Amino acid sequence: MRILCSLLVVVLSLVLTEKSLLSLTFKPLETRTVTVEGNLHYTVVDARGLAMMLMKKDFLLINVHVPYEGEIEKTDLFIPYNEVERNLDKLPADKDAKIVLYCRTDSMSNIAARTLVTLGFRNVWVLEGGMIVWKQAGYPLLFKNR
C-alpha cells in the first residue's frame, strides 16, 4: 500500500508539473512598452514572461542591482546600473541583440534600460518588479558568494 501511495504522489506531482509548464507555454507573453525621450523605447516583461523566455534563452541576462542581493538562474553578467556606460565592452556589438535587465525592485534596471536605449540598443527588456516580484511569483533566487 505504501508503494502505491508513493507512486500516486509521484504521478500527481508529474501531472501538476506538466500542467504548470503547459500553462507557461500556452499563455501569451505579457509585456508593455516604455517610451523614453527621443521616441526610444524598451520592453517590460512580468515574472511569468521571463520564466517562459528562460525556457528557450536567446538573450543576455544582466543583474544591475548593487549591492549584490541574489540572482536569477542563467544570469550572464553583473553590471551595476550606474556603470553601464563604462562596461559597453561586455555588451553585444549588435545593437539589436536582446538584453534583459533586472535588479531587486526594477528601479535600477529601468535606469540602466534608459541608458542602453539612449546608447542605441534597440532590444532592451526589464523584469517588472525585479527580484522581489520574481520570488513572490514562486521562482527561485540564487545566492552565491560574489
Which tens digits make up the pLDDT trace of 67-83?
Answer: 999 999 999 999 999 99
Q: Please report the pLDDT score of residue 19 as a whole number.
A: 41
Q: What are phi and psi of 41, to 5 degrees?
A: -150, 160
Asked if pLDDT for residue 106 goes beyond 80, the answer is yes
* Length in residues, the chain: 146
Could you tell me the domains of the chain? 28-136 (3.40.250.10)
Q: Which pTM does this prediction carry?
A: 0.81
* Alpha helical stretches, state H, the chain: 2-26, 47-55, 107-118, 130-136
H-helix or E-strand spanning residue 137 = none
pLDDT at 17: 42
Whether omega before 67 lies within 30 degrees of 0, making that bond cis, reads yes
| Residue whose entry in the numeric block shows the C-alpha cell 560574489 | 146
Residue pLDDT, tens place only, 88-104: 999 999 999 999 999 99
Do 31 and 44 form a contact (C-beta atoms < 8 A)? yes
Percent of the chain at pLDDT exceeding 70: 81
Q: Mean pLDDT of all residues in the chain?
A: 86
